[in-house]
Amino acid sequence: MTTREKSWKEIAPAGVCSKSSIGFLTGDWKTYMPVRDLEKCTRCLLCVLFCPDGAIRWKPEKGDIEFDYNYCKGCGICANECPTKAITMKLEQE
């Protein structure tokens, strides 16, 4: 399905952006993806803070963190910084 792009009459002036980047999924950029060993993870939350893309989130209601692979670019910072080496970068299948 193709959506018609807006004409000059329909867009806001001065380039006022009309969409949040939350709608732009960068997850397909990655080659490697972070995989977490739940036993080793101490929920220190450093990965949540250091991720350049905010792709790891702390979910207080779950008492645990969550990886959002829709945005993760596979940089490996989380794995490199994890104090207990709970995260490993694995080649993304398919």
| Per-residue x/- track, 39-78, another protein (CB under 8 A) | -----xxx-xxxxxxxx-xx-x-------x--x-xxxxx-
Nearer to another protein, 79 or 86 (CB): 79
Give φ, ψ of 59 to 5 degrees.
-110, 95
Chosen residue from 18, 28, 91, 93 binding another protein by CB under 8 A? 18
Lookup: tokens for 83: 């104090």
# residues contacting another protein (CB under 8 A): 47
What residues have CB less than 8 Å from 41, skipping those under 6 apart? 65, 82, 84, 86, 87
